[in-house]
């Protein structure tokens, strides 16, 4: 099936220390730049009473998270980060996920912390000593589904992403999150989409005096036709929305005007979010170029296969198509310009997910806009240092800080 073809991991991927990323599956990106001092990753914590709460992974196993306690001035500040890992849009595809960490905690291993998770102040000056939670992803619908099915072999499939979200946040509240002075909900890729879906719900759990914000990395997926003029990615989203029954998490004001499918796209979601939010994305998002704009289903010619693998190999005509992709993203984000407390960092690097890697988060060769790294820009936004942080890069290849070593 079309969606299942995207599940194949590209050769050379390293599995044990990874971050599972966005939609209909891609190769996991490795946290390839470890902290200066290598430390043991936080252990997996399995949700207590998961079965009784109906908050289970696709196969019925308990969901999990990794928690590292904060210290010093950050002991009452919390970063809750939602893992990415794609979506499954058919019963058959979701059944296959139960044989991996994307659908079963039986296959999960603890992952090393880096980038925004680093406890090294020189690499993560604003969040290094916060309580950091990495919520693992095993439901296939951005922590939003609420349904149940049987596959062709009679095995039950549990689409319980919404219950997982609610139960894990409840458990974290009991472990100290309820006493937070500052709380930041974040996520990468399909976890970035989940951040947008749950942002206001997360904020509503705290007293008004608590500083609560949201931060979506590489979660701004476009409702964009592919190079053949087909809406392949929209069809994938349509399958997820209806199979997993995600309507409960969608904004009511959006549902009053549009179909659930439309309200699952970030371009509509951001119109309804009231909590201050930061959007980090590449205008030339490598995953979206490879799987939304030029999916394998479009049967791309050899030149397009080369181009989508490496933007530096695209010819002038192809670059113009990619410019069109960026133009759509910038247009969809215009609504953010009017949101005073929101932030933007839209670079022009050929990459996807930039928070969990030292190289892209804050290093000597990190992408820069306004002479700031991503970490500096997010910190300035979160702590209201200086003017508004709303940076949109010029068209590729204008930015010399878009290093070829960035994960793509």
Instruction: State the pairing for strand pair 64-68/44-46.
Output: antiparallel
Report pLDDT digits (tens) over 267-281: 999 999 999 999 999
The pLDDT of residue 31:
38
Beta carbons of 57 and 161 less than 8 angstroms apart: no
The pLDDT of residue 38:
62
Cis peptide before 322 (omega within 30 of 0): no
Q: For residues 118 and 332, what is the distance between their CA atoms, to the nearest angstrom? A: 32
**Which residues on adjacent β-strands are paired with residue 212?**
183
Q: Is residue 405 part of a domain?
A: no
Q: Is residue 407 part of a domain?
A: no
The pLDDT of residue 405:
83
Beta carbons of 3 and 93 less than 8 angstroms apart: yes
Q: Is residue 400 part of a domain?
A: no
Q: Give, as one character, the DSSP assignment of residue 385.
A: -
Q: In tens digits, what is the pLDDT along the chain, a chain of 408 residues? A: 333 222 222 223 323 223 333 333 333 333 333 334 567 899 999 999 999 999 999 999 999 999 999 999 999 999 999 999 999 999 999 999 999 999 999 999 999 999 999 999 999 999 999 999 999 999 999 999 999 999 888 999 999 999 999 999 999 999 999 999 999 999 999 999 999 999 999 999 999 999 999 999 999 999 999 999 999 999 999 999 999 999 999 999 999 999 999 999 999 999 999 999 999 999 999 999 999 999 999 989 999 999 999 999 999 999 999 999 999 999 999 999 989 999 999 999 999 999 999 999 999 999 999 999 999 999 999 999 988 899 999 999 999 999 888 887
Q: Is residue 91 part of a domain?
A: yes
Instruction: State the pairing for strand pair 156-159/277-282.
Output: unpaired
The pLDDT of residue 35:
39
The residue segments making up the domain with residue 93 are 2-392
**Any catalytic annotation for residue 408?**
no
Give SS3 for 89.
Answer: coil
Half-sphere exposure (Cβ direction) of 267: Cα atoms closer than 13 Å:
13
95, 352, 366, 380: the catalytic one is: 352
Q: Is residue 408 part of a domain?
A: no
**Nearest Cα to 356, choosing from 188, 198, 223?**
188
Determine how many CB atoms are found less than 10 A away from the CB of residue 142.
34
* Domain count of the fold of the chain: 1
Q: Is residue 406 part of a domain?
A: no
285, 332, 347, 362: the catalytic one is: 285
Say if residue 9 is exposed, middle or buried (CB neighbours under 10 Å; 0-12, 13-18, 19+): exposed
Q: Residue 291 is encoded by which pair of tokens?
A: 């799987």
Q: Give, as one character, the DSSP assignment of residue 193.
A: H
The pLDDT of residue 407:
80
Q: What is the CA radius of gyration of the chain?
A: 20
**Any catalytic annotation for residue 352?**
yes
Beta carbons of 347 and 369 less than 8 angstroms apart: yes
The pLDDT of residue 375:
98
Q: For residues 308 and 171, what is the distance between their CA atoms, to the nearest angstrom? A: 42
Q: Is residue 397 part of a domain?
A: no
Instruction: Record the pTM.
Output: 0.91
**Any catalytic annotation for residue 382?**
no
61, 105, 189, 216: the catalytic one is: 189
The pLDDT of residue 18:
32
Q: Is residue 313 part of a domain?
A: yes
Q: For residues 162 and 246, what is the distance between their CA atoms, to the nearest angstrom? A: 8
Determine how many CB atoms are found less than 10 A away from the CB of residue 225.
16
Q: What is the CATH number of the domain that holds 14?
A: 3.40.50
């Amino acid at each position: 099936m079309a969606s299942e073809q995207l599940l194949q991991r590209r050769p050379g991927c390293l599995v044990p220390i990874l971050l599972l990323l966005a939609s209909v599956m891609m190769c996991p990106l490795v946290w390839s730049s470890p902290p200066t001092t290598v430390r043991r990753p936080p252990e997996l914590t399995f949700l207590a009473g998961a079965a009784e709460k109906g908050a289970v992974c696709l196969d019925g196993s308990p969901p999990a998270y990794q928690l590292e306690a904060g210290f010093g001035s950050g002991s009452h500040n919390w970063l809750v980060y939602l893992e990415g890992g794609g979506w499954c849009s058919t019963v058959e595809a979701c059944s296959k996920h139960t044989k991996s960490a994307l659908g079963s905690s039986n296959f999960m291993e603890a992952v090393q912390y880096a980038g925004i998770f680093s406890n090294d102040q020189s690499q993560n000056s604003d969040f290094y000593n916060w309580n950091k939670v990495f919520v693992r992803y095993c439901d296939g619908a951005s922590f939003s589904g609420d349904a149940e099915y049987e596959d062709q072999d009679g095995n039950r499939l549990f689409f319980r992403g919404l219950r997982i979200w609610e139960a894990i946040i409840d458990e974290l509240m009991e472990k100290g999150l309820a006493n937070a002075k500052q709380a930041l909900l974040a996520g990468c890729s399909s976890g970035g989409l989940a951040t947008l879906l749950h942002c206001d719900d997360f904020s509503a759990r705290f007293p008004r005096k608590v500083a609560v914000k949201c931060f979506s990395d590489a979660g701004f997926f476009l409702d964009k036709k592919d190079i053949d003029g087909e809406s392949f990615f929209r069809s994938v989203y349509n399958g997820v929305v209806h199979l997993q029954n995600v309507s409960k998490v969608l904004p009511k004001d959006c549902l009053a005007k549009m179909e659930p499918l439309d309200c699952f796209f970030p371009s509509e979601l951001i119109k309804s979010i009231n909590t201050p939010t930061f959007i980090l994305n590449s205008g030339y998002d490598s995953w979206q170029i490879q799987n939304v704009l030029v999916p394998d289903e479009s049967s791309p010619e050899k030149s397009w296969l080369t181009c989508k693998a490496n933007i530096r190999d695209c010819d002038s005509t192809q670059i113009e198509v990619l410019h069109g992709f960026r133009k759509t993203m910038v247009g969809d984000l215009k609504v953010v310009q009017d949101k005073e407390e929101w932030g933007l960092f839209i670079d022009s690097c050929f990459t996807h997910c930039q928070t969990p890697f030292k190289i892209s988060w804050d290093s000597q060769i990190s992408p820069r806009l306004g002479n700031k790294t991503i970490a500096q820009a997010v910190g300035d936004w979160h702590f209201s240092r200086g003017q508004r942080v709303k940076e949109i890069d010029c068209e590729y290849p204008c930015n010399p800080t878009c290093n070829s070593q960035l994960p793509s």
